[in-house]
Amino acid sequence: MRTKVIVLVLMLTGLVGFSQQDAQFTQYMYNTININPAYAGSRGAMSVFGLYRTQWIGLDGAPQTSSFSLNTPLNNSNLGLGISFVNDKIGPTNESVFSTDLSYTIPTSETFKLSFGIKATAGFFNLDINKLNAEQQGDPQFQDLKSKFSPNIGAGVYLHSNTAYIGLSVPSLIESSHYGDNDVAIYKEKISYYLIAGYVFDLDHSQYVKFKPALLTKIVEGAPLQVDVSANFMFNDKFVVGMAYRWSAALTAMAGFQVTEGMYIGYAYDHETTRLNKYNSGSHEIFLRYEFFNNYSGITSPRFF
């Protein structure tokens, strides 16, 4: 069977991307809606978010990710609504995922709220055979690889206050396969489990300096445990600098600026700590968030997450 080349390419693609079947974000703490539907509406404002990430600069076929989302509380109710779009390109593959999120929030104390969320997604996965060098051109096995549609559902819980949060989520509860009925390759998306947590400390009485450590853990069957730890400092509710470490993968520098009351821009640079650092010059990620406040939001200063 003349499929050695394409199988090898897909195996290498899988090895490169084993830990990020879901699109990977360094600044996930500002983009939580993509991994936890319970986050929808939790900021008390309509939040519009756009992000672009280019990973492993200089490495052919490296991941490129674009993300857009909008989430908002629904009037003065306990409901939150979110929509999002993520496009992830890795080598010859291109995957687009559209999501709708619905959350319900209940107060658990004077300071904490507990949110429950559900997510519905529609995924489109495409393999461009024109980017592959098959051993035998015109092989009929490669002529029917059309875009694959995969619906899915997810769920999450999110406990939060103005200074702390912890969340547990499973963005996709159904394991899906692509080209499973074809001899060329089988691409499976495993179920991912996320745990996130963070806390904001005031380092002086004037609240001029705030410090926020944060944690993300991700468990996927057949892949090593992914652990991201970060530490960010916010000055005068305006300027943010920090560092992050993705366990056995990357070291990150981050910065952000609250341009106006509603507009925040952030940037991150990842330095690879694996053997891949010999073949790339790092990863870049930039995002812009804009929020529309209202009379019932109750926000008097920028939230640190």
User: What is the distance between the alpha carbons of residues 305 and 264, in angstroms, rounded to a whole number?
Assistant: 11
pLDDT, tens digit, 9 for 90 and up, residues 65-76: 999 999 999 988
Mean pLDDT (the chain, rounded) = 85
Task: Please enumerate in sequence order all residues whose Cβ is within 8 A of that of 303, keeping only pairs 6 or more positions apart, or say none.
Answer: 43, 162
pLDDT at 189: 74
pLDDT at 180: 55
Domain ranges of the chain: 23-177+187-292
Task: Say if residues 38 and 115 touch (Cβ distance below 8 Å).
Answer: yes
Q: What value does the CA radius of gyration of the chain take, rounded to a whole number of Å?
A: 20
Q: Which helix (DSSP H) or strand (DSSP E) does residue 15 occupy?
A: helix 4-16
Task: Give yes or no for residue 158 having a pLDDT over 90.
Answer: yes
Task: Say if residues 149 and 174 touch (Cβ distance below 8 Å).
Answer: no
pLDDT, tens digit, 9 for 90 and up, residues 6-59: 333 443 444 334 334 577 899 998 989 999 999 999 998 999 999 999 999 998
Closest CA to 35 of 97, 126, 112, 80: 97
Across 102-116, 126-140, 163-177, 200-214, least confident range = 126-140
Closest CA to 67 of 289, 292, 293, 303: 289
Question: For 244, what's the count of Cα atoms within 13 Å in the CB-facing half-sphere?
Answer: 28
Top CATH class, 23-177+187-292: mainly beta
198/293: higher pLDDT:
198
* Tokens at 51, concatenated: 């992000």
Looking at the whole model, is its pTM more than 0.95?
A: no
User: What is the distance between the alpha carbons of residues 31 and 262, in angstroms, rounded to a whole number?
Assistant: 16
